[in-house]
Amino acid sequence: MENKKEKIADFKTAISSTVRSLSNSQKIEVSFGNDGSKSEKNSISLPELSPTNNKFNYNQIRAVADSKSLRHRFSDPKTFKQYEPEGNISKQLYRISEKIRCEKIGTSYFKGVKNNIEKFYQERVSGLDLKSSEDKIVESFENYLRTKFLNFENNNQIDKKLKSYKKDLNEKFKDKINKLNDFTLNQEKFNSLISELIANMNLDENLDEEEKKMMIKIMMISKIKPITKKNRQKRKRINKRRCL
């Protein structure tokens, strides 16, 4: 038991050291799970370590630590906020695009980081159960950007899961991908362009409309009374009266 605790402590120490190196900040605080952090602006929060030898959990922590460290190093919060679009889904896609921009910069310098991020992303997306339209949009968008910016190669299983929105994304982004790639090192230009592209997709409005239609369907179904034997007999009596 003591040996397991020591291994977890050693792993946390190694991750914290990596975070400080990648983020280029020796003062940054690293917390795991529910561990509190004194400063939100100069801290990185990571998932809790599993007490069992959970390979997926360890891969997740390495990848998230690398990604958040690069975001801390290469993204200016004020510039990011300046171009943030309206709408819940649009904001999610905007955050994803900035995360991938920073990963693109970082992985060009640190090959080990690229392996960590790709390995975990492959594991995570393969196990996804995409039921809601919002989940499909968000995951399809991230996957699309990963294939275009980080040269991520989908397997057949991932392609099948995320193909529904691929055509729409190609139509919206195909003429802008090269420009976005050129703007990778210029956060202001990148944020401005990606925000405009996301806003023009009207995703939040379309999803709201889709949810309204679904709610109307549910309400209509709930109003339909089941045809029981009693109801059938009642209908027959009414029809007889109409014939008289």
Give the pLDDT means over successive 10-residue stretches in the chain (244 positions): 80 95 94 72 88 82 96 97 95 97 95 93 86 87 94 85 82 90 97 95 68 48 50 50 41
The CA distance from 198 to 193, in Å, is 9
pTM, to two decimals: 0.80
For residue 16, which of 61, 78, 54, 82 has the smallest C-alpha distance?
A: 61
Residue 99 backbone phi and psi in degrees, to 5: -60, -45
Position 165 scores a pLDDT of: 80
Position 1 scores a pLDDT of: 54
For residue 89, which of 199, 176, 186 has the smallest C-alpha distance?
A: 199
DSSP helix/strand/coil, 193: helix
The CA distance from 203 to 138, in Å, is 10
The CA distance from 234 to 182, in Å, is 72
DSSP 225: P
